[in-house]
Amino acid sequence: MLLSNISYIDITQNYSLPMLGYGDRSEWSKGVSDNIYAYLWTLKNEKGSYNWIILDLCFLNISTISLLKNKLCLESEIDYENTFISTTHTHSAPDLNKLYKEKNIRINFNLYLEEFETRLINLLRNSKKNLEKSEIFISTQKCSIGTNRRLYCEILDDEVFILKIISNKKVNGIVVYYSCHPTVLGSENLKISADWVGIVRTKLQKIYNVPVMFVQGAHGDIDPISRGKLHLNDPKQSIGASHKELVKISDSFVNSFKKNFETLKFSKTKKFVVEEKICQIPTKFGKIDSQKYLSLKNKWEKKFINFLKLEKINFDEPETLNEKVKKQCMYKNLDDDQIIYWIAEQYKYFAFVNTFKQVAIPNDGYVNLKITYFDFDKIVLACSPVEFLSAIGIEQKKLNKHRKILVVSLFGGYLGYFPHYKNYYERDKDLGYETISSIFDEKSSKIFKRFNQTYLDHGP
């Protein structure tokens, strides 16, 4: 027997806070465009109770998630191992990694986090009281609001998967799985927003009168249609569209969803199982010990100091380099090749430092990538702390015609982009933001594919 409940709570607060998503956004938030939320899907079967929290944030580091989970599980008396946190990846929300890091030296950070945690604890406590006997039905439709941002790549996954939760013969929740960055709003936007995801959810909830939870798929190279291709030699590429365009794109998704929803054929799932496994994925850097890590890090930092003509840079926050590097490129009036080189170096450095802050050093050249499977038989959500590129998502769905793997990004942390091996051989491989900044070796997607194939063949 399966018990289930989807609920949500507003996590918006009226503080001016650092935001996360665009490295060249230097100002803190100023007001709210639309509210941001935390969604909770609680599922309980004979093996245990599972809580999946999805936050309207860009991403959370593994260490941040650990701190948050410790507090939530202790206060709400739930199982740490069966509690999971992921994000929708909006680029217009507070930077909780920075807030947790500096909460002891900034009073407003601490106040924000105390209220944030209290709201999540209440959400978890209430969810336990509202579980109902449930059945889950699955369907799919087409709905495209995205475009592949890599220069010479046209791969696009426009498939939307819908999980409909039925309790007492009524729909009491909907889960929508889709792959697209919530980045209609750009670096110039300083208002808190869940971007198109938030508007879509709100409108669907009004139509169907049930909670609608969004799950982010293989979106790593997919931006909203308002953005187009990502050119590294354009220092202004992070500037976004207007709020009017945001509403237009959101409405396009809602209208397509609504048009098809009532006529879709849903199939009932036969089981629900959660299982965690570790897949060893090779990095580009080979074996890393403390000496090699510091050597590579120092080499990059000296290069940036010389280029920026600065005696001191706060390398504890590598993401802040983005703005400085772009401004220097414009100030020096560099040509396209030089701009691409320096932008690429900054992205490589951030990916390297951010990952190895979270991955144990020394290591043998591999990352132990945790994969959490939410197995509903007909579909299997394969969740990991990376941003999967669209070719990965499409390939995984084709592994088994009876059981589709749907990859879920930004689950349990953030270790950067996870490209398909073919992405490393595209014409723009040296210009593609996702491949140059990934820490993963080009063989990684093949290993990941074999690992998931084994799960489908021999899993529960």
User: pTM here?
Assistant: 0.95
Cα 100 to Cα 16, 105, 210, 412: the distances in Å are 15, 10, 33, 16
Return the pLDDT at 362: 75
Return the pLDDT at 430: 62
Domain chopping of the chain, boundaries: 275-285+364-391+410-458, 290-358
- pLDDT digits over 192-251, tens only? 999 999 999 999 999 999 999 999 999 999 999 999 888 877 777 889 999 999 999 999
Whether 317 shows a pLDDT value over 90: the answer reads no
Q: 431: pLDDT confidence band, cut at 50, 70 and 90?
A: low
Return the pLDDT at 149: 93
Mean pLDDT of 332-361: 86
- pLDDT digits over 442-452, tens only? 999 999 999 99
How far is Cα 107 from Cα 101, in angstroms, rounded to an integer? 12
Q: How would you write the chain as a 3-class SS string?
A: CCEEEEEEEECCCCCCCCEECCCCCCCCCCCECCCCEEEEEEEEECCEEEEEEEECCCCCCHHHHHHHHHHHHHHHCCCCCCEEEEECCCCCEECHHHHHHCCCCCHHHHHHHHHHHHHHHHHHHHHHHCCEECEEEEEEEECCCEEECCCCCCCCCCEEEEEEEEECCEEEEEEEEECCCCCCCCCCCCCECCHHHHHHHHHHHHHHCCCEEEEECCCCCEEECCCCCCCCCCCCCCCCCCHHHHHHHHHHHHHHHHHHHCCCCCEECCCCEEEEEEEEEEECCCCECHHHHHHHHHHHHHHHHHHHCCCCCCCCCHHHHHHHHHHHHHHCCCCHHHHHHHHHHHHHHHHHHHHHHHCCCCECCEEEEEEEEEECCCEEEEECCCEECHHHHHHHHCCCCCCEEEEECCECCCCCEECCHHHHHCCCCCCCHHHHCCCECCCHHHHHHHHHHHHHHHCC
Whether 460 shows a pLDDT value over 70: the answer reads no
Return the pLDDT at 385: 97
Return the pLDDT at 54: 98
- pLDDT digits over 85-136, tens only? 999 999 999 999 999 999 999 999 999 999 999 999 999 999 999 999 999 9
Q: What single-letter amino acid sits at 373?
A: Y
Which residues are within 8 A (CB) of 240 and not within 5 positions of it... i.e. 6 or more apart?
A: 183, 184, 185, 186, 187, 188, 189, 226, 227
Whether 368 shows a pLDDT value over 90: the answer reads yes
Return the pLDDT at 412: 97
Whether 12 shows a pLDDT value over 90: the answer reads yes
Express as a percent the part of the chain with pLDDT over 70: 98
How far is Cα 449 from Cα 460, in angstroms, rounded to an integer? 18
- Average pLDDT value for the chain: 93
- pLDDT digits over 136-156, tens only? 999 999 998 999 999 888 899
Lowest mean per-residue pLDDT among 48-62, 80-94, 251-265, 334-348 = 334-348
> Higher model confidence: residue 43 or residue 234?
43
Q: Are 253 and 145 in contact (CB under 8 A)?
A: yes
Mean pLDDT of 345-356: 88
